[in-house]
Amino acid sequence: MPKQSFLPFLLLLLAIPAAQAQKYSNDFLAIGVGARAHGMAGAQTAFVNDITAAYWNPAGLAGIEAPLQLAAMHAEWFVGVSQYDYIGFGKSLNKERGSYLAFSLIRLGIDNIPYTINLVDPVDGSVNYDNVSPFSAADYALSGSYATRLLKNPAFSLGGSVKVVRRVVGDIGSSWGFGADFGAQYKKGNLRLGLMARDITTTFNAWSFTLTEKEKEVYQQTGNEIPVSNTEITNPRFILGGAYLIRLGENTSLLPALDMEFTTDGQRNVLVSSESINMDPRFGLEADYKGYVQLRAGVGNFQKVKDDFDPNKENMTVQPNFGVGMRLGRVQLDYALTDIGNVSQVRYSHIFSLRLDFKERKKSAG
């Protein structure tokens, strides 16, 4: 059997890290949503107040003024091989309380992967390209979120999300997962503080695999481990955030923000790294003019990388992000230039998102 027939299985192993390691389980949910957030390197926990708060900090939903809001985002990287899409919508339940209900859908997928296991006839060795069929490796997350302000102290808002995770690799493997997030925000004057507990309940993904005898044989021939049904666990992570609104005259403002993410699932390659706890900072800055135009910058993803010329030396690398936004009536358009695809090389990704506010219906006089 020629080497090219093994390619789909190499792609398959990249697509299902759940069967191999749990430290980065469901890591597609760590990418984030909204071009505004990506332009600020994901520093959103303390001040996010639109429909994307369902992802970044559900407590921020209480700050939405529109009675109904819709948002969507699209991104792709690796020269369009991988597609990342998000859509979210929400509705106000009680304007005075800030009670808000939202639903979100995220999809990360690699489509049209050639499945070449039947490319070569095992009897005569002839090649038949008609036997090549495409398959997809895709991850989905559907969440429902709710937020409200505290009655006795409206400076505080609380929110939570429940999510269902579905991961599929063609007809070979799939999983179902369930989890929950919790968030809180505090607002006093120009100060914003936030807390996000992601996967606070611990998210469980139950994987099942159905391989034919021929597929198992190919795994053995290529020296790959045959995946077996298992349960993947996503441990909780915590993000503390702070931001401060700086007024520069009547029309212009600056919003610097800092998020610090804490993980306890083993040592990671982050700025502060240890076997017991890791700390990963994200810095963001947004300049706003009259609420119509925004310029954004951010830096995050601090990593130590081996020097190309001295293997005993490590260099610190960071991921710079940039973005712009424009408000046109009830429509907010955002764009971000960010290095999602590859941190170690200059391979930037273009991210676009749109947000639409709906007005409240006027009550008839009669």
pLDDT for residue 266: 76
Q: Evaluate whether residue 114 is within a structural domain.
A: yes
Residue in 129, 101, 103 with CA at minimum distance from that of residue 114: 129
Any domain includes 249: no
Residue 125 lies in a domain: yes
Task: Please give the pLDDT value at position 313.
Answer: 80
Q: 241-287 pLDDT, tens per residue?
A: 999 999 998 899 999 999 999 987 777 877 777 777 888 999 999 99
364 is a domain residue: no
Least confident interval from 54-68, 157-171, 302-316: 302-316
Q: How many domains does the chain have?
A: 1
* Spatial separation of the C-alpha atoms in residues 207 and 224, rounded to whole Å: 18
Enclosing domain of residue 69:
3-188+195-242+325-358
Whether residue 292 lies inside any domain: the answer is: no
What are the tens digits of pLDDT across the range 20-55?
335 567 888 888 999 999 999 999 999 999 999 999
CB-count burial class (<10 Å; 0-12, 13-18, 19+) for 322: middle
In a domain, 274, yes or no: no
State residue 21 phi and psi, 5-degree precision.
-150, 150
Q: The whole model's pTM is what?
A: 0.84
- Within a domain: 272: no
Number of Cβ within a 10 Å radius of residue 312? 6
3-state SS string over 190-253?
A: CEEEEEEEECCCCEEEEEEECCCHHHHHHHHHCCCCCCCCEEEEECCEEEEEEEECEEECCCEE
Q: Is 278 within the bounds of a domain?
A: no
pLDDT of residue 2: 37
